[in-house]
Structure 1
Amino acid sequence: MAQTENRLEAETRTEFGKGAARRIRRADKIPAVLYGHGEAPVHVSLPGHATMLALKNVNALLTIVLEGKEQLALAKDVQRDPIKPFIEHVDLVIVRRGEKVTVDVPVHIEGEAAPETVVTLENASLQVEAEATNIPELFTVHVDDLEAGSQILAKEVELPAGTTLLADEELLIVNITQQISEEALEAELAEAEAEAGIEHEESDEEAAEREEAEGEESEREGDSDGEESDSDEG
């Protein structure tokens, strides 16, 4: 499934600096710079809501409309606020129709592996070369009924026509392992904590269980001593 083109009406930006960027964002716009193919960098502002929707898709193909002229571009770098849900700045790189570009495409897992297995996505994306106007949105990997010990490598991921794998062919994408029991997991955790020197305070429940076990042990020892005394008297 290829990306759809997203049309964004841009405006030339003449103010720069943090203050100007804040004013642009308050107006529900996003500061951006457009460059590439030997063109001088052009500083623009993009419509905030429409740009955020478009950039939800990785490798979104954008049609930037500036002063009546259209330019295809890809988002090279998207700077997002670490706390608030907004974009601070976008670097856009110019692309041409028919041009090949290098991109990282997300991997999506579908299906259910065999019972009592764990499916691990070891690498969440694949680096490929594709036409700028026909970049796959994602790669789907099917794991239906696969048993523990099964692995899916990069070379086994189905790519659409016109897309070339650039990642290592032997790169592990999906690994399917045997599900570990709760008891074994707790034992492994306890062993790892012991090796790391981690000690836990005894909970009230654990203390009660320990005291009960010690009491039962004392009773057994008392009974044993009594039997030995009876035998000596005999």
Structure 2
Amino acid sequence: MAEALKIRVEPRDPAKNKGTGTRVVRRLRKEGRIPAVIYGHKQEVVPISLSKDDVWHMIKAASHLAELDLGGKSETVLVRDVQWDNLGREILHLDFARVSADEQIETEVKIELRGHASGVDEGGLLEHLVHTLAVKCPANAIPDSIRVDVSGVGLDQGIHVRDLKLPPNVVADADGDLLILHVVTPRSAEESTGADGADAATQPEVIKPERKEKDKED
């Protein structure tokens, strides 16, 4: 289970036009801070900012929960949304949703593959198709990841959602038939060439119009 990171945040004051707007956001980023909001539980939305270093630490730790210290008041929150720039390099904004420790929540958890698939030794290719899994669980039971042992996956075999061994109190919120990964037989070079040749053979022949001869001058 991922632990809630303790992060100190600062309030923003939109009522005085000092906490929102493009200029304010730019100023915050120059100061090494990122704007965010806290919402939920039928309470008011609170605009805040937090250190860029704290945000990156939270992202790298793949932490879903955070305990925010706002002027001595503690808020347990779930990271609901992270807004990135167009290049996917810089974090522009975060949304935090208030949660209780035992509150049932829905979130997505990354899938990590462990081991070496036996089918690869038989000449197969391991294809990882689904990288995150939607789950339902108490807020204090969110796993940091879903670890999948692939060592028993042979050639032309796979693992579906129904095959996953999930932690206690964690339920998959996805179709049980959803394929997470499989080991497939790669097409040989000869098969590829043959298929290409067959495709070429079925193409209609292009007949160009004959060029008219120019009349000879007398």
TM-score, scaled to structure 2: 0.81
Distance 2:92 2:201 in 1: 46
Q: Which has the larger radius of gyration?
A: 1
Are the equivalent residues in 2 in contact too, given 1:3–1:136 (CA < 8 A)?
yes
Structure 2 partner of 1:218: none
Distance 1:46 1:196 in 2: 62
Structure 1 partner of 2:44: 40
User: By how many angstroms is 1:3 displaced?
Assistant: 1.1
User: By how many angstroms is 1:189 displaced?
Assistant: 6.3
User: By how many angstroms is 1:173 displaced?
Assistant: 1.0
Structure 2 partner of 1:72: 76
CA RMSD of aligned residues (A): 2.3
Output the amino acid matched with 1:120.
Answer: E
Q: Indicate the SS of the match to 2:180.
A: strand
User: Where in structure 2 are the equivalents of 1:125-140 lying within 5 Å?
Assistant: 125-140=132-147
Are the equivalent residues in 2 in contact too, given 1:59–1:135 (CA < 8 A)?
no
Are the equivalent residues in 1 in contact too, given 2:137–2:169 (CA < 8 A)?
yes
Inter-CA distance 80–190: structure 2 relative to 1 (3 Å threshold): farther
Are the equivalent residues in 1 in contact too, given 2:34–2:92 (CA < 8 A)?
yes
Structure 1 gaps, min length 5: 198-234
Distance 2:176 2:95 in 1: 31
Are the equivalent residues in 2 in contact too, given 1:59–1:103 (CA < 8 A)?
no
Inter-CA distance 190–36: structure 2 relative to 1 (3 Å threshold): farther
Picking from 176, 180, 188, the partner of 2:183 is 176
Greater helix share, 1 or 2? 1
User: By how many angstroms is 1:196 displaced?
Assistant: 10
Structure 2 partner of 1:147: 154
Inter-CA distance 195–176: structure 2 relative to 1 (3 Å threshold): farther
Structure 2 partner of 1:8: 7
Q: Indicate the SS of the match to 1:55.
A: helix
Inter-CA distance 156–84: structure 2 relative to 1 (3 Å threshold): closer
User: By how many angstroms is 1:56 displaced?
Assistant: 2.7
Are the equivalent residues in 1 in contact too, given 2:33–2:49 (CA < 8 A)?
yes
Distance 2:93 2:38 in 1: 11
Q: Indicate the SS of the match to 2:24.
A: helix
Output the amino acid matched with 2:127.
Answer: T
Inter-CA distance 21–193: structure 2 relative to 1 (3 Å threshold): farther
Distance 2:26 2:203 in 1: 48
52-61 or 20-29, larger mean C-alpha shift: 52-61
Are the equivalent residues in 2 in contact too, given 1:120–1:174 (CA < 8 A)?
yes
Picking from 127, 151, 163, the partner of 1:120 is 127
User: By how many angstroms is 1:192 displaced?
Assistant: 7.1
User: By how many angstroms is 1:84 displaced?
Assistant: 6.8
Q: Indicate the SS of the match to 1:179.
A: coil
User: Where in structure 2 are the equivalents of 1:104-115 lying within 5 Å?
Assistant: 104-113=108-117, 114=119, 115=121
Structure 2 partner of 1:49: 53
Distance 1:132 1:186 in 2: 53
User: By how many angstroms is 1:194 displaced?
Assistant: 9.0
Distance 2:76 2:138 in 1: 12
Inter-CA distance 179–145: structure 2 relative to 1 (3 Å threshold): farther
TM-score, scaled to structure 1: 0.76
Structure 2 gaps, min length 5: 14-18, 205-218
Distance 1:97 1:55 in 2: 21
After the TM superposition, list the runs of 4 or more consecutive aligned residues in structure 1 that deviate by more than 3 angstroms.
182-197
Distance 2:201 2:62 in 1: 43
